Amino acid sequence: MAAETEEILIKEFEKLLAGPRRKENAIQAFLENHTKFIPTPGLLNHGLHLNSVISKLPIGARITDFAYLTKSSDEWKLVLVELEDANKKLFVQSSKHVGFTAEMNDAIAQIDVWRDFWKDNRKTVIDSIEPLLVPPAMRRNTISLECVLIIGRSAEKDSNAARRQRVAALRSDKQIHVMTYDSILRYLRNGFGDTCAVISKTGNKFRLRSVERLPSHLFSYLLPEHLEIASDAEAKLRAEGLDMDAWQANQLLTVNEKWPEHDAWKKAKDAGAHPAVVRILKSVKRHQ
């Protein structure tokens, strides 16, 4: 049944891609509603940080379509994603040289603006996402920037080695990972992709917008000072057993990412946890 549902969604996505131009907003809405379709290339060995992507993260005066963080023990990577129309062409039709179209060059120029802002205002960008750089002890680790450009279809380049090399050069020269929408479809059909939560930046706070998959460690480190929650997302969190009343009272949910340390054994017992787990939590409480 899950495979059948996914194939229905893939066909719906294909229909959207084949429609009229100027549909980037519709594509973004589809991806946010079906997060398994959001590609996250370049993940480090700790995977997608917080199991979350950031929608519409401001970078200076410009706004990304998506962004996400990934880390290893020694480094962070901030990845910025630009969505362009599926009908845009990557290459000009020429027998003399392999050149990008004006549309492709415009998309690259947009990413160059992000990279220039990062180069000149690195601390500003890092400060804007600092609450998400958890655990706090890892904030001192190096942060690098990568960019992902999603544009067009694969038929333009798949059978042309020179075009593939030109795209690969963007990765090595500018750290721009170019993907087509066919890449996303292949990714899904090959059994990859995973759901995630979606957050956004709202003034000085982040907002948890949707939880198709529960975020990881978000409530273990962030308090309402830095995070607000959409009502639909909060309802799902409560249904999953997170003690949102305690969190809203400024208690971090550090036990099983669901409960605060205070009386966690009672929450575990009510949730049907194994008696041994309840005894351990109760023992910890006694020795605090």
Where do the domains of the chain lie? 2-189, 231-288
Poorest-confidence range of 23-37, 161-175, 202-216, 261-275?
261-275
pLDDT of residue 287: 46
Q: Residue 274 — very low, low, confident or very high, per pLDDT cuts 50/70/90? A: low
Q: What percent of the chain has pLDDT over 70?
A: 89
pTM of the model: 0.90
Share the mean pLDDT of the chain.
90
Q: Residue 256 — very low, low, confident or very high, per pLDDT cuts 50/70/90? A: confident
pLDDT at 283 over 70: no
Alpha-carbon distance 269 to 281, whole Å?
A: 10
pLDDT at 288 over 60: no
Task: Tell me the per-residue pLDDT of 49-97, one tens digit each, with 9 for 90 and over.
Answer: 999 999 999 999 999 999 999 999 999 999 999 999 999 999 998 767 8
The predicted model gives 201-224 an average pLDDT of 95
Task: Tell me the per-residue pLDDT of 128-186, one tens digit each, with 9 for 90 and over.
Answer: 999 999 999 999 999 999 999 999 999 988 888 999 999 999 988 888 999 999 999 99
Q: Which CATH class is domain 2-189?
A: alpha beta
pLDDT at 108 over 80: yes
Q: Residue 242 — very low, low, confident or very high, per pLDDT cuts 50/70/90? A: very high
pLDDT of residue 55: 98
More confident residue, 16 or 282: 16
